[in-house]
């Protein structure tokens, strides 16, 4: 059990799901502290049968705190995480700020829980699009190795925050009523549209989101030899990222074995019945913690080629759920130390 747990960004969209996941997953603690920006300080948030008053995020707020689960922008994480670590707290950080720091483990509990043993006070949770892809690839990687991955993502607007969800809803209404659309969260109207850019321009025409998928996958799996080519697209969906994934394993796998591996993989739900039109879709996967896999096929021309479709709630497994799962692992380790 954790003595004192703090949730940073508790009033945000992901922070509220973190609190829900803490309850659902039975993450046990004696004391709970909710922290946020001065704008949200004083807000009352109900957790279970208790009402908690949100406190201002400040250095002193971490006095006596053992574990922190944080959902904040990068610039906020850069400032507050050292405050918490200096006071001996362990921070589970969902921002991108520390992910590629070589001294910070990047953890998906179903994939590399052993990486927790290398932390120095900070544990990073990966990007949402990376998380669901690596959870799905892990059983194939363990069974036959992976040489190459080509992934195209279809990412929901909630990945850009609540304001982006509002923009999609308002834009859809305006489009249907033939009123002018005025995008602010995206460079173009997102209603009835696809935008093939997520993030800023980076290496050789790839975007920052695409390069995150490359570099984070290498770090999580501890294997820089995997060739990864990503194309990230924003789509007019509220919640739930979808991915079309093609991979080439080092050794061939029969289709029956591939399906068996997906069925047995922790955190994966196989929904694959093309004849009965059953496959993962964002509306069906929203508010669920698993990574859903379907449309599994063997490449017709390459014995080691595998194609599949992958969907996951980007606010849950892609963010809040993964962080709380890490917190649960930390809680178990603390219990073993004190036992």
CA geometry: angle at 151 spanning 149 and 153, to 5°?
Answer: 160
3-state secondary structure 1-42: CEEEEEEECCCCHHHHHHHHHHHHCCCCEEEEEEEECCCCCC
Q: Residue 317 has what DSSP assignment?
A: I
- Catalytic residue chosen out of the listed positions 119, 232, 241, 304: 241
Question: Is 218 marked active-site?
Answer: no
Rounded CA separation 239/242 (Å): 10
| Angle in degrees, 0-180, between the axes of helices 13-24 and 321-338, rounded to the nearest 10 | 50
| Placement of tokens 């971490």 in the chain | 62
Got the DSSP string for 59-79? GGGGTT--EEEE---HHHHHH
3-state secondary structure 76-116: HHHHHHHHHHHCCCEEEECCCCCCCCCCCCECCCCCCHHHH
- Catalytic residue chosen out of the listed positions 119, 128, 247, 285: 128
Question: Is 128 marked active-site?
Answer: yes
Q: Would you say 238 and 165 are in contact if contact means Cβ atoms under 8 Å apart?
A: yes
Tell me the backbone φ, ψ of residue 215, rounded to 5 degrees.
Answer: -70, -40
Beta-carbon contacts of 331 under 8 Å, excluding residues fewer than 6 positions away, are: 1, 2, 27, 28, 29, 67
Strand 241-249 and strand 146-155: the pairing is antiparallel
The catalytic residues are 128, 241
């Amino acid at each position: 059990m954790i003595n004192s747990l703090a949730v940073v960004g508790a009033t945000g969209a992901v922070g509220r799901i973190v609190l829900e996941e803490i309850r659902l997953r039975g993450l046990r603690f004696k004391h709970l502290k909710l922290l946020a920006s001065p704008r949200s300080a004083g807000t009352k948030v109900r957790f279970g049968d208790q009402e908690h008053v949100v406190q201002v995020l400040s250095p002193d707020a971490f006095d006596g705190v053992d574990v922190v689960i944080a959902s904040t922008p990068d610039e906020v994480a850069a400032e507050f995480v050292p405050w918490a670590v200096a006071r001996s707290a362990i921070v589970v950080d969902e921002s991108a700020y520390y992910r590629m720091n070589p001294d910070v483990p990047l953890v998906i509990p179903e994939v590399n829980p052993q990486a927790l043993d290398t932390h120095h006070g900070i544990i990073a949770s990966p990007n949402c699009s990376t998380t669901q892809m690596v959870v799905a690839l892990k059983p194939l990687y363990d069974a036959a190795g992976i040489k190459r991955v080509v992934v195209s993502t279809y990412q929901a607007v909630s990945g850009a925050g609540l304001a982006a969800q509002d923009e999609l809803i308002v834009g859809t209404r305006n489009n249907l009523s033939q009123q002018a659309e005025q995008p602010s969260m995206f460079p173009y109207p997102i209603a009835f549209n696809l935008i093939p850019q997520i993030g800023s321009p980076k290496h050789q025409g790839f975007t920052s989101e695409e390069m995150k998928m490359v570099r984070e996958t290498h770090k999580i799996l501890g294997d820089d030899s995997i060739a990864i080519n990503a194309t990230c697209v924003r789509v007019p969906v509220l919640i739930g990222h979808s991915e079309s994934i093609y991979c080439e394993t080092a050794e061939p796998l029969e289709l029956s074995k591939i399906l068996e591996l997906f069925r047995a993989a922790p955190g994966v739900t196989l929904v694959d019945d093309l004849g009965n039109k059953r496959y993962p879709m964002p509306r069906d996967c929203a508010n669920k913690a698993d990574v859903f896999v379907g449309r599994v096929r063997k490449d017709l021309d390459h014995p080691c080629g595998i194609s599949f479709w992958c969907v996951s709630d980007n606010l849950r497994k892609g963010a809040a759920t993964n962080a709380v799962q890490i917190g649960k692992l930390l809680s178990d380790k603390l219990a073993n130390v004190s036992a």
